[in-house]
Chain A
Amino acid sequence: MADTPMVAAHHVRLGSNSGQPMTRRDGIAKVTGTATYAADNHPQNLLHAVFAGASIARGRVTSLDIKAALAHPGVVHVMTPDNTPALSQDPDQKTTPFTARIDVLQNDKVRYAGQPIAVILAETLEAAVEGARLVKATYDSDQARIGFDDGEAFAPEAVGISTPPKFSTGDFEGNRKKATQSASVEMETPLQYHNAMETHAVVAEWDGDHVTVDMPNQAIGLAKPGIANYFGIPPENVTLRSPYLGGGFGSKAVLFGPQMLGILAAREMKRPVKLVLKRGQMFGPVQHRSATRQTVRYDMDADNRFLAFEHTANVSTSSFDNWLDGAANAGLSLYATPSISVSHSGTRFDTGTPGAMRAPGIATGSAVIECAIDVAAEKAGMDPLEFRLLNYAEKDPSNGKPYSAKALRGCYKAAADSFGWKDRPLKPRQMRDENGLLTGWGMGTSIFHAPFFPAKARAVLRKDGSARAETSGADMGQGAWTVLWQMAADGLGMAADDIEFDIGHSDLPDGSVAGGSAHTASAGGALFAAGNDVIRQLAEIATQDKDSPLFGAGNERVLGENGRLFKAEDPNVGESYTDILQRAGIEEIEGKGRGNRDKASTETYAMFSHGAVFAEVKVDPDLFQVRVTRLVGAFAAGRIINPRLAQSQLTGGMIWGVGFALHEEGIHDKRSGRPLNNDFAGYHIPVLADVPHLEALLVDEEDPHVNDLGVKGVGELGITGTVGAIANAVWHATGVRTARYPIKIEDLLKGAQALKA
């Protein structure tokens, strides 16, 4: 991996620790069980909280009988709307964009099944669980509205975090008239629930008006003032600890009702309280991915080039909040086209509110777009890869900006070569394996934004040669402990083993959100800059010290590496960090840093990571069970800090793509609105036998504009492209395109029967 080009004032290089396939630095703690997840904390005098959930999806609680619960041995208190104090901030007010409307026993309204209607506090978990079962509610209930045909339509003001719901560019109507052929696809995607292995949890302990909260959280810097707001205390009175998360996928970036109830209960009871969601409770108050009903259409000229691209998405949200998955924005920057028209509409379901879930918008939208591309390629009589290359976007079609870097051609080639794509027959149902199974190949393009957040970090170098780097950051299992540590060590010009490193705590500088695939670039950039700031100060000391071999050397020409400062031109001339500090009699140097993305670059360039995914499926010719026998992806995401962990993220995303294409579906009863498959026996995700062969190749890409270090993200990229690749492969095997995800045996059977008739 090439070193970062030296720029003035950079005294360290990204490249000694970074670029290495280091294994997880938190791995031993995790496999030996010493890594403490939030729910592993047991402060003395702890009370257990369990919430009882509503069994209706819309209406009012008319009465709540808590006598039996209170009488149950071990139960200490039952919180209900009658005895729960108001929060300092109305939980239906949204003061910042990253807030959701939450349900915290402030009234008797029920807005989705599973919404907390009472919180049982008990000396043991068992007593609290039984107490929750003993709470008997009666309701005044209205018919639940689940699904696009039953829900209430609404016109959104924004989709995703704050993107406009409609966009168009170019002479869309004019171009459509010019077109000689078109391809369109209509598809639905279901509700999907994040279901991190670690369910949402909180352990809260108050000391006067200061609260210590153990809670898995992806955005400590936002959560801290958020909690403070709800409880009417200054942000500095909130200590939030989140050293390890057992997965987040977007659902742990926002504050939710159950955790706030845990914190509220601790304040009410004047005792520490632990509240952990049961698996079944994950299907309501803590977000999910919107369901969508999408149409994608591409119009082409006689040379099979796109003239117009249209994408509409009807997207689900809750009855009381407005988050909409931005599915129809997924194709804005994907393929070359002179005109675009995309729009979103919304439908309110009586479910909890959806939110960001791994590759929000893009996963959902590209799952349909990539199918439309293959339908268009079929109409054009072209190989799907050739067709994508013909319509390759050299500039972002939505705004004409050049890409900061785009090695997608290299991705197509690397993945296609490794997969062996070139002999693919154009027509479907042409390939059978030696066992007579229908075999199909399909592909899809991966894309994800490369955003950048304003993260901060601190680094310290001490006289004895020890050092420390820190930022609040979050490791959801994606490898932040390792990757950020590598970048921090490079910042200090030291080996990773020689520095102390800390993340996951609100007393540390704000490392910003672990989300949007921006964490490595943002928090890592800040850590690198903080270390560099230390070495800059150290170099100043050395070059001004007559007794230093570096005396008089220009600042620019001094480098730190392996705990030693030396002249760039003559590495033999130099001395150790300790020598410099000891001679100067300085105890320690503190450095501060922020990552940097050039403002002008942001305005000039379109910034994305890219990739290509190729899938092979085998389908039983009579029974239509599908198995993805091979998945090969190649990805370009700027500078890769840790190839091992990047591959792990990418293959993880690809596996999720398998789940999206074939398995995941949150099913609610249409009448009651209750989730029907809210456990892992019913909510299917891929098992190992579903992913027998996975390859994630990394394609070199130097991105000089995306930020100072050229780092992009890989966390969400892998799921995009994969879903469509699988659907295309299923079509290639069977000749059938289903109208919905997940692709089901019954739909393939019906499709195949229709083809025959």
Chain B
Amino acid sequence: MKAFDYQRPETIAEAIKAASKPGASYYAGGTNLLDLMKVGVRTPDSLIDITRLDDLKRIEPQKDGSLRIGALVRNSDLARNVDILSDYPAIAEALLSGASGQLRNSATVGGNLMQQPRCAYFYDPHSACNLHEVGEGCDALEGENGKHAVLGWTKTCIAVHPSDFCVPLAAMGARVVVDGPDGSREISIDEFYTLPGSVQPPGSALKQGEIITAIILPSDAKRFAPRARYIKLRDRTSYAFAIVSAAAMLHIGDGRIKDARIALGGVAANPWRAREAEDTLNGAEANEASFKKAADAALADAKPSGDNAHKIELARRILVRALKAAADGTPPKMPDLPGSVFAVGKEAR
């Protein structure tokens, strides 16, 4: 790979300074960035290794009841955190459904948010891809695109965001805390990701030098804890990215849904919050008919970006499944196969 400078700052301020130079890139667990460097798709001039920034490794309950998770908390540690398991169980389930044990031990919260699409043409430096360089074109459009987006895409890019973790984050409206040359700010996860435009490929709201320091899980999402699930469809039982996935969180009282939160994974360049679907559920009975209506609403605008029309139907179905599972209640114990379609049902409880 291309030779690069390597720096390991001791403070966030130093890190920001170092990363503000064009060509600089933060390095956390390295599980995504290193792979991209090895194939020659990412060629940073300098790597700013942030793994010594101990301030970013804490999980702290806040006064307002929210939970602040440092950007360098490892995926494995977060998934086993007591507060997460009791208050935000879908987050733990999503994390444990992703990648493998070894990868989760290395991968960080910030890196997970910032991971790049898994589109094969993006991984191939010889293919045309607007994520290599704006204007290069998109070889996926006429290529192997069975796993690509069905929502929010343009011909600029049809890739999907691959993260599992981000799907329940989107559903509950988590906030991303960033720090940077212009100071610190908080961005809702909805606004954090940008969908592709007519020229601009998808990306994030981060500017050069900006670092994710934490994410904040809102306190009001805790009321979903008894009914929160993440379900993920994949090509093998474990260790595979989602074909489609769904996070569903329900607050039910007096036999009716009082509040619902829904997001889909594997369908768009962002973790796709389905507000229209949530709206259909407010005040509805928690039954299959309501769930199907919600799923139809969520996918109403979906269209295939290639040889992937089946994903629309599968996304509908996975959402119905996740809603049913949520309505059945969060399992008291993490299922053996977290997030798996095979973890749903009695086995899970």
Contact = CB atoms under 8 A, between A and B. Distances in A.
Interface of A: 55, 126, 129-130, 133, 280, 434-437, 618, 620, 622-623, 625, 627, 662-663, 667, 669-672, 674, 676-677, 681-682, 684, 686-690, 744-746, 749-750
DSSP class of B's interface residues: helix, strand, loop or mixed? Answer: loop
A146 to B, nearest CB: 11
Given A133-B40, A671-B142, A745 B235 contact: yes
A677 B235 CA distance: 14
B302 to A, nearest CB: 15
A678 B35 CA distance: 13
A686 B236 contact: yes
A676 B124 contact: yes
Contacts of B3: 130
A663 B236 contact: yes
Contacts of A674: 124, 126-127
Nearest to B142: A671
A669 B342 contact: no
Given A671-B142, A745-B243, A625 B238 contact: no
B8 interface: no
Interface of B: 1-3, 35, 39-40, 100, 118, 120-121, 124, 126-127, 139, 142-144, 146, 233-240, 243, 310, 313-314, 317-318, 320-321, 337, 340-342, 344-347
B317 A622 contact: yes
Contacts of B40: 133
B316 to A, nearest CB: 10
Nearest to A434: B346
Contacts of A622: 317, 320-321
Contacts of B144: 667, 669-670, 676
Given A434-B346, A623-B317, A689 B238 contact: yes
Contacts of A667: 120, 144
24 contacts: A130-B1, A130-B3, A133-B2, A434-B346, A436-B345, A437-B342, A622-B317, A622-B321, A623-B321, A627-B237, A627-B342, A662-B236, A663-B236, A669-B139, A671-B142, A671-B143, A674-B124, A674-B126, A676-B124, A687-B237, A744-B235, A745-B310, A746-B310, A749-B310
Contacts of A133: 1-2, 40
A674 B235 CA distance: 22
A745 to B, nearest CB: 7
A625 B139 contact: no
A130 B40 CA distance: 9
A663 B347 contact: no
A750 B126 CA distance: 34
Nearest to A129: B1
B294 to A, nearest CB: 15
A745 B39 CA distance: 30
Contacts of B143: 669-671, 676
B163 to A, nearest CB: 14
A662 B237 CA distance: 11
Nearest to A686: B236
Contacts of A681: 35, 118
A676 B39 CA distance: 12
Contact of B126 (A55, A130, A437): A55
A746 B317 CA distance: 13
A749 B314 contact: yes
Contacts of B321: 622-623
Nearest to B318: A623
Contacts of A682: 118, 120
B342 A618 contact: yes
- Top 8 nearest A-B pairs (CB, nearest first) are A435-B345, A676-B120, A689-B237, A689-B238, A746-B310, A55-B126, A620-B341, A622-B317
B338 to A, nearest CB: 11
A663 to B, nearest CB: 6
Contact of B236 (A126, A618, A672, A690): A690
A754 to B, nearest CB: 13
Nearest to B345: A435
Contacts of A750: 310
B344 to A, nearest CB: 7
A509 B134 CA distance: 61
Contacts of B100: 687
Nearest to A685: B236
A622 B120 CA distance: 28
A434 B346 CA distance: 8
A745 B314 contact: yes
Given A434-B346, A674-B124, A623 B240 contact: no
Contacts of B314: 623, 745-746, 749
B325 to A, nearest CB: 11
B126 to A, nearest CB: 4
A55 B126 CA distance: 7
B118 A625 contact: no
Contact of B2 (A130, A437, A669, A690): A130
B127 A672 contact: yes
Given A129-B1, A622-B317, A627-B342, A746 B146 contact: yes
A690 B144 CA distance: 25
A223 B124 CA distance: 34
A126 B144 CA distance: 32
A620 B237 contact: no
Contact of A687 (B35, B120, B236, B344): B236
B139 A280 contact: no
A745 B233 contact: yes
Given A625-B341, A749-B314, 17 more contacts: A55-B126, A129-B1, A130-B1, A436-B345, A618-B342, A623-B233, A623-B317, A625-B233, A627-B237, A669-B139, A672-B127, A674-B126, A676-B144, A684-B235, A689-B236, A746-B146, A749-B313
A660 B240 CA distance: 17
A688 to B, nearest CB: 8
Contacts of A130: 1-3
Contacts of A687: 100, 236-239
B237 A672 contact: no
B13 to A, nearest CB: 32
A342 B42 CA distance: 51
A744 B243 CA distance: 11
B345 A689 contact: no
A623 B341 contact: yes
A671 B126 CA distance: 12
Contacts of A663: 235-236
Contacts of B346: 434-435
A670 to B, nearest CB: 7
Contacts of A676: 120-121, 124, 143-144
Contacts of A129: 1
A61 to B, nearest CB: 14
Nearest to A618: B342
A86 to B, nearest CB: 30
Nearest to B348: A435
Contacts of A280: 39
Given A623-B321, A627-B237, A672 B310 contact: no
Most chain A beta carbons < 10 A, residue from B1, B233, B236, B341: B236
Contacts of A434: 345-347
Nearest to B231: A623
Nearest to A278: B38
Contacts of A672: 126-127
A100 B121 CA distance: 31
A682 B35 CA distance: 13
A620 B342 contact: yes
B324 to A, nearest CB: 10
B179 to A, nearest CB: 31
A752 to B, nearest CB: 11
A57 B341 CA distance: 40
A745 B237 CA distance: 12
A55 B40 CA distance: 14
Contacts of A671: 139, 142-143
B339 to A, nearest CB: 12
A434 B345 CA distance: 9
B171 to A, nearest CB: 19
